A and B are shown apart, each in its own frame.
Chain A
């Protein structure tokens, strides 16, 4: 501005022309009624609505170039009609003819004449193409009807009437069934409508459909035998032949029932559907979880080799070896500042563990570490919570499955594994025997449902079985000894007899001599039996009251038999008597052990029987 003023004053020619122009333009663009600041906020683009327009909206420029094209009332005919009805509608004149320069009316009249005439022949009426009819089968001839389509239920007239209706209403069965009103005796149209003559039989939609489909399918088959039909035709034919009015009727009855449900029924259905949705969703979850669990369980288990690392000694040994391996590799930083356990990855190249074992081991360890930590944390939290809140009563503990361990073995192990381990004895023969005993009891080698209680019972059972096996072994040994001794005794008696026959006075001395060795044998056998006895007794205490009773009973019977034996063999000699006594005692033990074993097994099987129930109950 200042520069312009100066130029003005000095009468200098204005050269900065464009600048003020630009400014002015911007100002012009800003509409009234809007502040500059607000306008600036709008930016480059124009406001979306005209804020203040005081002018009328002018015609667009292109419109002013157009000529007005007149409309006129033009006659037309519709090809869909058979009677050539001429109706009139408004039509734009310039549609086909170029904008006429001549304005006068007379010219237009002329144009109308030559335009209206050609319109009908060459230009089809726009809406005539929508005049479509449903495709109905060809009408049968008399001969065809008599040969193929005769029916007891449908007269020829009624069939004709039905076919007419179908054609008239374009196969809209709802309407056809609604309008169906066949009069068996043709009556005047007037009486027809005023007086309702009841039809002799009520035709349902299913009847009509069945009849029509039969006729249509027959006609289709007459035109093309089924072997020559195209696929679509054959499908149609099949469909029509297979129409079952009875089934359709039943379906409609059901549909009516469905429609007329009570509000309660509808509500119940809604609830059930909701429930079903929930159940299926839960089932999906359950299946997914179970699959995950199985995939975890299927990781190969290495039972034997982890045991050596479960003791602290083994662990420290492992650590040593690892450290040595590290040292040999000159890498010292394996033990972090936290002193964390070596990572599973570092563990794998351990020299003394073969690769297979380590592979089996790593995942379990890798899983064990976090779960252990978590468990520890959870336990700590639990302890705190328990201390702060309450202590559980024994019954509650049983219910929640809370257990207290004196000493926890490090690492994760499966309860079933522990039970499994019991079935493996030191010797192979023993293991087989164990398995045979279990098989005899019909107890599976691998527990089906290794719950806490089942495992405990299983442990007891295995223990008992072991005892049984031991006892049996001892019994066999003792029996064989008895057999040997009896054989020796007979031998001796035979010899003694012979000797008696020879010289009688010698007997006494022999009698004095003999007791020593027999007593030895007796003590031997009793010691052997006694060796078995304490263990049996120990087992009995574990076995429970039943076993004790059984033992007592067996003891009684043993005593009774012993008494009997003594009373029977009073007459026998002192020597034979003493040896007899020892064998009797041994026999008593054997009998007792056998009874015991029997009872034990029965108790165990009972336990085994009980357990699944209890586990199920839990």
Chain B
């Protein structure tokens, strides 16, 4: 095929209008141009805040992790349920996500950027019409994603920001469940999204969310982290403490299970960063732990149950070779059965490791993944249930836990032995992590989609309530 000849538009139905797709999540915010296969800009939704020379300063993006500035505190504008709490900061974080990499920074105030320094004695002239040029998204339509249970108020606030603060010519708000279904090429699907703060199950029919079937529970990646912390606390021979890298000045290798021999950094009083900073960096170590060690018991039954051969599943799990993990301070240990136990409560609430200090209350059975799916299916019409079961889309970075889809498949087959259960989970890590962003990228680059945008004109005519009417 000749690369200089583009494929005919009829072949893929694409028509790119350089739209920007913004997929804000609890842990990370993804942004990129529609039509591309991965988001160009991936930043943590967390931002840092510190005071320097009497001024409040903010740190966005990966810079948050780098320098332990004095009294640096880390915040998140999103609430644990996936709905924005701090709108001002959310706007700033989101704006940073596309201005830093995609559109370029907003030109500074011409009065202060030094280019227009006024010679002494001259009066500044009024500049009319400059305002519109300054908006960061003046020539890119914006497609944003939202969770399935986003309240109307939040949706209206979102379009307000996009239209008035960012000046986008056209805007659309799509549910991330729908987008994830599009990313795997399905218009009707049951989307299981395992994110950092939430697990959500969204039935999608013909590209529309069935609201009565939408289910979510807080057993996301952060919950698994809290389970790992509980495990570390109860660890024998001694509890494991996680010391992030920034506190380690040097370390020496030790044998497995031996106490670490590391030199720690100390901060002079008043110079140390906030506790939230340490938590954030511990979280990074924990996600490494999740990637390397944690494994979901693949089934066919619960971990606590007995297998078909009469041997209990725990025994089988124990006999599997363990996985070693070295912590930043040099302490290392091999994790056997425990690496299954930390995620078992996603499927079996009774298997949760109890921890009184955890911010997460003990999960109920209704919050586990199979129950969520069951409830979601019970909320939709019986005629489409078999079809949804045949199109289960698994997405979200936490679904990359080793063995997650196998277990989910087993659970669904057990709950619904009759209909055909088919799970479609992309094997590619990026496609799983950015599922909803990729769906947005596909949607916003479709020629047929361009009639769906809410244009600036329409917004001015109807006000923010138009989002409820148009983005169904």
Contacts and interface: CB of A to CB of B under 8 A. Distances in A.
Interface stretch (B36-44, B81-89, B206-214, B264-272): B206-214
A280 to B, nearest CB: 23
Contacts of A377: none
B246 to A, nearest CB: 44
B33 to A, nearest CB: 12
Given A175-B205, A178-B210, A267-B417, 15 more contacts: A85-B170, A87-B453, A126-B447, A168-B472, A172-B205, A174-B380, A175-B210, A193-B152, A252-B383, A255-B383, A258-B418, A259-B385, A261-B417, A261-B418, A262-B417
Interface stretch (B9-17, B303-311, B325-333, B425-433): B9-17
Interface of B: 4, 9-10, 13, 15-18, 139, 141, 151-153, 169-170, 205-206, 208, 210-213, 380-386, 414, 416-419, 446-448, 450-451, 453, 455, 457-458, 465, 468, 472
A179 interface: yes
Nearest to A177: B381
21 contacts: A78-B450, A81-B450, A81-B455, A83-B455, A83-B458, A85-B169, A87-B141, A89-B15, A125-B447, A131-B451, A169-B472, A174-B205, A174-B210, A178-B211, A178-B381, A194-B152, A205-B381, A258-B418, A259-B416, A260-B418, A261-B417
Contacts of A85: 169-170, 450, 453, 455, 457
A256 B453 contact: no
Given A87-B141, A174-B384, A266 B417 contact: yes
A472 B17 CA distance: 117
Contacts of B382: 252, 255-256, 259
Contacts of B208: 169, 172, 175
A189 B152 contact: yes
Given A259-B418, A261-B417, A263-B417, A87 B169 contact: yes
Contacts of A169: 208, 472
Interface in A257-276: 258-263, 265-267
A78 B381 contact: no
A173 B451 CA distance: 23
A172 B206 contact: yes
Contact of A130 (B153, B383, B419, B448): B448
Given A85-B170, A126-B15, A175 B206 contact: yes
Interface string A97-135: 000000000000000000000000000011110110000
Contacts of A205: 381
B451 A194 contact: no
Task: Summarize B's interface: helix, strand, loop or mixed.
Answer: mixed
Contacts of A266: 417-418
A497 interface: no
Contacts of B17: 87-89
Contacts of B383: 174, 252, 255
Given A87-B170, A205-B381, A127 B15 contact: yes
A263 B414 contact: yes
Contacts of A267: 417
A535 to B, nearest CB: 78
A256 B380 CA distance: 11
A530 interface: no
Nearest to B9: A126
B460 to A, nearest CB: 10
A355 B384 CA distance: 74
A90 interface: yes
Given A174-B381, A193-B152, A259 B451 contact: no
A560 interface: no
Contact of B211 (A83, A131, A179): A179
Contacts of A63: 4
Contacts of A507: none
Contacts of B170: 85, 87
Interface in A19-66: 63
A35 to B, nearest CB: 35
Contacts of A178: 205, 210-213, 380-381
A179 B451 CA distance: 23
Given A175-B205, A259-B418, A81 B16 contact: no
A194 B139 CA distance: 35
A172 B208 CA distance: 10
A469 B102 CA distance: 120
A255 B383 CA distance: 7
5 A-B pairs with the lowest CB-CB distances in the bound complex, closest first: A127-B447, A80-B451, A85-B455, A263-B417, A87-B17
Nearest to B155: A193
Contact of B448 (A127, A168, A262): A127
Of the candidates A173, A174, A265, A267, the one having the most CB atoms from chain B within 10 angstroms of its own CB is A174
Residue among B16, B153, B448, B458 having the largest count of chain A Cβ atoms under 10 Å: B448
A189 B418 CA distance: 43
B140 to A, nearest CB: 10
Nearest to A60: B2
A225 B196 CA distance: 61
B448 A189 contact: no
Contacts of A131: 448, 451
B355 to A, nearest CB: 34
A175 B175 CA distance: 15
A125 B9 CA distance: 12
A115 to B, nearest CB: 18
A223 B199 CA distance: 52
